[in-house]
Amino acid sequence: MSAGNMRLTLKVWRQSNTNTQGGFENYNLDGVSPDMSFLEMFDILNEQLIEENKEPVAFDHDCREGICGMCSMFINGQPHGPLKGVTTCQLHMRSFQDGDTITVEPWRAGAFPVIKDLVVDRDGFDRIISAGGFVSVNTGNAQDANNLPIAKEDADDAFSAAACIGCGACVAACKNASAMLFVSAKISQLALLPQGQAERSIRAEKMVAQMDAEGFGNCTNTHACSAECPKEISFENIARMNREYLGAKVSSKAL
């Protein structure tokens, strides 16, 4: 099964660091097996480059199971490539044809500067969470877990929103580089749960303010974000966030 026989041409974005200009390089690759993952195909490319004394392509990855949110390739014009609901690391070469040319770029967004080649800086996401993506409960203050029954539907909906892996594909997919899907998933998760109620308004205000400060763009309802999201986070979250935000503004205490 592992005998690889696909031949590919890869057009890969190379950029030495944030301050230099990048450009595409073409590489030919043989011996690719349809059972390989997209990143294993990149491993082979890198082994080949090392043999040729060329610097390997830098790319982010860790779990290779579609859950850590680290991998981030923009493949043939789509974040995480052609399959719906699949991250780059879970994409397999059987989704491509022998002889294909595949273009691979980093996430492109002003708020995600390129660090090197396909690696970008997503620290903005962490800062948005720091602004309000939590319940303010110190360790040791919790009551017995079953003292707080939560309707199964609410728990399930909160879970669906919480399944976001924070990869940034939504930003990369959006022509405005908006981070609304990411931000709204966290706001929704906590707004749907009783634990999140106390800070509901201030959370929405602060997270949105931080999102704007990071330079992410506005949402113009193209829905590209949720269409490309590897975890299929629903666009409904954005509507919920808008309601939360407007509600918060009306009764604003934060400003």
- Positions that interact with ligand FES (CB under 6 A): 61-64, 66-71, 87-89
Straight-line distance from the first to the last Cα atom of the chain, in angstroms, rounded to the nearest whole number: 62
Under the binding rule (CB under 8 A), the answer on residue 220 touching another protein is no
- Judging by DSSP bridges, how do beta strands 6-14 and 101-105 pair with one another? parallel
DSSP string, 29-48: EEEE-TTSBHHHHHHHHHHH
The listed partner (ligand FES, another protein, none) that binds 254, CB under 5 to 8 Å by sort, is: none
Token pair recorded at residue 199 = 């800070």
- Nearest CB to ligand FES, comparing residues 63 and 129: 63
Binding-residue pattern over the window 130 to 159 for another protein, x denoting contact by CB under 8 A: xx-xxxxxxxxxxxxxx-xxxxx--xx-xx
Compute the least distance from the CB of residue 100 to another protein, in Å.
Answer: 18
Under the binding rule (CB under 8 A), the answer on residue 212 touching another protein is no
β-strand partners of 13: 24
- Listed in sequence order, the DSSP H helices in the chain are 38-51, 123-132, 152-162, 169-173, 180-191, 200-213, 224-228, 236-250
Compute the least distance from the CB of residue 225 to ligand FES, in Å.
Answer: 17
Burial call 25-55: b when 16+ CB within 10 Å, e when fewer = eeeebeebbbebbbbbbbebbbebeeeeeee
- Nearest CB to ligand FES, comparing residues 185 and 192: 185
Under the binding rule (CB under 8 A), the answer on residue 227 touching another protein is no
Under the binding rule (CB under 8 A), the answer on residue 200 touching another protein is no
Compute the least distance from the CB of residue 107 to another protein, in Å.
Answer: 12
- Nearest CB to another protein, comparing residues 135 and 227: 135
Q: Which of 22, 25, 27, 33 is in the footprint of another protein by CB under 8 A?
A: 33
Under the binding rule (CB under 8 A), the answer on residue 198 touching another protein is no
Contacts (CB under 8 A) with another protein, residues 157-196: 158-159, 162-163, 165-166, 189-190, 193, 195-196
Token pair recorded at residue 59 = 């790319």
Rounded CA separation 184/5 (Å) = 44
